[in-house]
Amino acid sequence: MDFPLITSCSCRSTVLRILLFLSLHLPVFALTGAIPQQEARRISLNSGWRFQRSTSTPDNLSYSKLKQWILPSANNFIVDSTKHARRPADQPDNVTISQPSFDDSSWEKLNLPHDWAVKGPFYTASNAVIGGGMGRLPIQGVGWYRRNFSANTADKAKSVYLDIDGAMSYAMVWLNGNLVGGWPYGYASFRLDLTPYLSVGDNTLAIRLDNTVDSSRFYPGAGIYRNVWLTKVSTTHVGQTGTWISCKQVSNQSATLDLVVQVENAANGGVRAEVDVTTDVHIFDSGTGKAGEKVAQFPSAAVALEAGKRQSVNSSVTVQKPRLWGPRPAQEPNLYIAITRLRIGGQVIDTFETRFGIRSLQYGNDGLRINGQRVYLQGVNQHHDLGSLGAAFSIEAAERQLSMLQDMGCNAVRTSHNPPAPELLDLADQMGVLILNEIFDTWKSQKVRNDFHLIFNDWYEADLRAFLRRDRNHPSVVIWSYGNEVAEQGGGKSGADTAQRLEDIVREEDPTRQTTVGMNSASADSAFSSVVDLIGLNYQGEGRTGSTGSFPSFRSKFPNKMIFSTESASAISTRGTYLFPVTNGSSSAVKDGQGGDSKAMYVSAYELYAVDWGASADKVFVSQDRASYVAGEFVWTGWDYLGEPTPYNSARSSYFGIIDLAGFPKDRFYLYQSRWNPTVRTAHILPHWNWPDRVGQVTPVHVFSSGDEAELFLNGVSQGRQKKDQSTYRFRWDKVTYQPGELQVTTYKAGAIWANATVRTTGQATQLKLSTYRERTVIRADGSDLSFISVAVTDDKGNVVPQASGTITFSIQGPGTIVATDNGDPTDMAPFPSKDRKAFAGLALAIVRANADTTGTITVKATSTGLQAAELILEIA
Ligand SMILES: *[C@@H]1O[C@H](CO)[C@@H](O)[C@H](O)[C@H]1NC(C)=O
Ligand SMILES: *[C@@H]1O[C@H](CO)[C@@H](O)[C@H](O)[C@H]1NC(C)=O
Ligand SMILES: *[C@@H]1O[C@H](CO)[C@@H](O)[C@H](O)[C@H]1NC(C)=O
Ligand SMILES: *[C@@H]1O[C@H](CO)[C@@H](O)[C@H](O)[C@H]1NC(C)=O
Ligand SMILES: *[C@@H]1O[C@H](CO)[C@@H](O)[C@H](O)[C@H]1NC(C)=O
Ligand SMILES: *[C@@H]1O[C@H](CO)[C@@H](O)[C@H](O)[C@H]1NC(C)=O
Ligand SMILES: *[C@@H]1O[C@H](CO)[C@@H](O)[C@H](O)[C@H]1NC(C)=O
């Protein structure tokens, strides 16, 4: 077997993305037999695990008992070596579960990424051990994962590392019964050196994770929920996050690249290494996933390294006529790839690839400039979970999230409030999405009793440096955030000192980008807000205290700093649910009788309602437009997410999303699309028009459109023609009297017809209709690719019946699995793997995976009592 695609792949994996674009089939390589000759630098260890979880602590272990062996894992990321933790000379007490001889045959077999909590069941009690905030899913307890792999004598002469992209949480890793190390923060990517404990022949990895209750304000997930790799390299090699490429003097004519390569000699036998370091720069073709034409070459360097030492090699090169990286749609996300080779005596001993982009960044007091062009931040916040898939990372699910956001005109994502999967940044690089990369939700002061504050002092430096070094080559990352709504904002000097310490670390690791913290309470006069480079405000802009809120006070205190909303809106709604009466204002705090129904736990989708510290989208637009120096906003949130079901804590998932948890756009999607993607001919009518109980009653009709004028007709009778003024972002006819039939809107732009839309009173539900995301009916049998299948309940003309709520049963024939179903209803407590899912506002979703190494077709069927069933065929490629 050869593995051309993963040979010498850097930590910023190009592999998954290549698969996505080319639909290539990459075998999942189970490392059980002999190791191939031409082997990869990095091998997936995702398959073939055994797993067991317990809600008690049967092993009597804890992080605090084993901390002395775990802390040294951070040493590479702590600059002051006098602060390095020293590993005790002995192993801790024998842990039976970690021993190769331990019998794990009764444990569950599974592949990673894995989230042990997402299958449920949901806790429904009001005093549940995991309540609404954390998503009512059983994240708590101790989980053990075990896996065998074999190594040969050639491997024994190498350095062998375990790379874990994310494990929730308090990971501790044993190899052959020896505690290797670990990493507590569940969102961090980390590397452990297996070399000292590696055996020729069979090896047994055992990984222990531990999640406490009250450890997060939102759903954290549970388990090894990201990719895991085995990296095997020559003892002299490019280090873990071993390259750093930054650019300066960027223009269309040329750009200067600065490169730092960290070379490491991990030979424990004391051999000095004389190494030549060369790096070539090639165009990276996102379409094929391959290196294209070579465009530059860094000057080569020679370095002599004693055993156990690492050293940085710096060089610079100028690229002529660079193809710049920029966000879509205004610019193109062109990428390059740097291929670094280490040679000893002329022979290549390590090859390391780094994907990067060339672009300039300027943070002006009137906004962000990329390559000299102002880019207004049309951003959203995104938590890391992927809805019914939980935290278990899937590149297909992440791509679906980002591309739907991009369709809406979104150009930026804030990774609230923790480091994302590395592949999310690969996607953002490739798709041209800007990233505000955020690391912490808490510092020293707790938000909930078991959150990161417990380990902040021991781990903040290592976590922050590891995060920055992992992600700083990504051109999509344009802002670092080292905190969100931290209590330290109001803490006077000590809070500002903590901020300054974190700020200094960012400055040391990356002088090219600026920083922020999401500030919901710091005022312009606080010591805290002077520390951050950029003024990122949570809800302070949109006017609890006036139309532009705190923007003017920050503006006058910091006339030269960029100001923007790190969180805006917190508008809430339930897809397809309309409640009456409709508020006559443009924004209203939700309560019963005013957009809310606390009994059903639904919020009206007239899209005028928000939590009491928030505002509707329309109201945010007003304040952003009045403060024209503001650089843009990050809406809370793009997609719904698990947990934080404000305002109804008995539910399971959020109401904030512009897109619901299953991936169906709420009405608000078209409001943002009208403003953010104005070249799309959007015209969207709400509500639906099936109101048998409202005949003769006032039933407001609102229209979202990128046009500037609109005329609404009910059964052919004009309800009036309207023009948008400067501070209205929707058309509204609030006095329409309901009669069944047809609503039709014609919108105009600059006097010419722009876009039309129609909504009809439907007939009875008669049938189901299936469709796939992006009409993609081909699925790869790589054990990870997913197909997202929507089902609509329609009348016999194919109109979606908006109140249909009957149970739909999904079934599958052929070599595949229904991984999860959902409908976007935040109150639906049917476990996600259930094959039965109620339609919600006429729609539901099934997510299907093909079994690994299969061929043929998969037939997915949906049935529902009294309705004509539907079938869909997926081809396995
Ligand atoms: C854990 O501790 C309990 C109480 O001390 C003891 O009975 C039990 O055997 C221990 N279990 C293990 C796996 O060491
Ligand atoms: C650890 O325990 C295992 C299984 O109980 C046993 O086989 C092994 O010899 C023990 N190792 C040590 C160092 O005590
Ligand atoms: C690892 O190998 C041992 C010994 O052959 C076996 O008992 C155990 O089930 C294997 N574990 C896994 C996860 O394959
Ligand atoms: C190499 O560059 C890094 C990052 O800019 C810097 O910290 C370091 O001092 C440089 N080393 C040398 C030898 O110039
Ligand atoms: C490069 O050229 C484009 C198109 O002419 C222009 O919009 C852009 O501002 C230029 N970029 C830089 C960095 O000069
Ligand atoms: C909105 O309704 C409230 C209460 O019904 C009323 O007091 C107010 O005048 C109305 N405002 C407008 C602009 O119609
Ligand atoms: C939109 O509706 C108007 C009538 O109001 C009609 O004249 C026009 O052709 C329609 N345009 C499209 C694209 O359907």
Could you write out the three-class secondary structure of 332-383?
CECEEEEEEEEEECCEEEEEEEEEECCCCEEEECCEEEECCEEECEEEEECC
Q: In this structure, are 431 and 572 located in the same domain?
A: yes
* Amino acid 295: pLDDT: 98
Mean pLDDT value of segment 696-712? 98
Q: In this structure, are 655 and 711 located in the same domain?
A: no
What distance in angstroms lies between residue 756's CA and the mean position of ligand 7's atoms?
6
The pTM of this model reads 0.94
Residue nearest to atom 5 of ligand 5 (CA): 252
Question: Does position 20 have pLDDT exceeding 80, yes or no?
Answer: no
Q: In this structure, are 355 and 407 located in the same domain?
A: no
What distance in angstroms lies between residue 310's CA and the mean position of ligand 4's atoms?
13
Question: Does position 2 have pLDDT exceeding 70, yes or no?
Answer: no
* Domain contains 741: yes
* Domain contains 483: yes
CATH of the domain at 644: 3.20.20.80
Number of domains the chain is built from: 5
Q: In this structure, are 200 and 293 located in the same domain?
A: no
pLDDT category at 577 given cuts 50, 70, 90 is very high
Which residues neighbour 824 within 8 Å (Cβ) at sequence distance 6 or greater? 575, 640, 660, 661, 662, 663, 664, 840, 841, 843, 845
**Residues lining ligand 1, CB < 6 A?**
59-60
> Percentage of residues in the chain with pLDDT exceeding 70?
95
Q: In this structure, are 251 and 399 located in the same domain?
A: no
- How far, in Å, CA of 375 to CA of 631, rounded? 8
Structure confidence by residue, pLDDT tens digits, 33-45: 333 334 679 999 9
> Percentage of residues in the chain with pLDDT exceeding 90?
93
User: Could you say which of 760, 795, 824 is where a domain stops?
Assistant: 760
* Amino acid 546: pLDDT: 55
- In 412-487, alpha helices (H): 422-431, 456-471
Q: In this structure, are 627 and 723 located in the same domain?
A: no
Looking at every residue in the chain, the average pLDDT score rounds to 94
Structure confidence by residue, pLDDT tens digits, 661-693: 999 999 999 999 999 999 999 999 999 999 999
13 or 575, greater pLDDT:
575
pLDDT category at 547 given cuts 50, 70, 90 is low
* Domain contains 374: no
Which residue segment(s) compose the domain that 391 sits in?
384-681
Helix (H) or strand (E) holding 717: strand 717-723
What distance in angstroms lies between residue 146's CA and the mean position of ligand 1's atoms?
21
Q: DSSP code of 168?
A: B
* Amino acid 38: pLDDT: 44
Atom of ligand 7 nearest to the CA of 755: 13
Residue nearest to atom 13 of ligand 3 (CA): 147
* Domain contains 773: yes
Question: Does position 722 have pLDDT exceeding 70, yes or no?
Answer: yes
Residue 608, token pair as written in the block: 């005028």
* Amino acid 37: pLDDT: 38
Q: In this structure, are 83 and 189 located in the same domain?
A: yes
Mean pLDDT value of segment 196-219? 98
- How far, in Å, CA of 408 to CA of 727, rounded? 21
Structure confidence by residue, pLDDT tens digits, 784-831: 999 999 999 999 999 999 999 999 999 999 999 999 999 999 999 999
CATH of the domain at 738: 2.60.40.10
* Amino acid 541: pLDDT: 84
Q: In this structure, are 314 and 253 located in the same domain?
A: yes
**Measured between alpha carbons, how far is residue 675 from residues 148, 496, 681, 731 in Å?**
54, 37, 11, 13
Residue nearest to atom 12 of ligand 3 (CA): 147
Q: In this structure, are 602 and 688 located in the same domain?
A: no
Q: In this structure, are 729 and 797 located in the same domain?
A: no
Q: In this structure, are 284 and 399 located in the same domain?
A: no
- How far, in Å, CA of 394 to CA of 627, rounded? 39
* Domain contains 232: no
Mean pLDDT value of segment 591-610? 98
Q: In this structure, are 523 and 651 located in the same domain?
A: yes
Q: In this predicted structure, which of 198-212, 543-557, 695-709 has the lowest mean pLDDT?
A: 543-557
**Residues lining ligand 5, CB < 6 A?**
250-252, 360, 371-373
**Residues lining ligand 3, CB < 6 A?**
50, 103-105, 146-148, 204
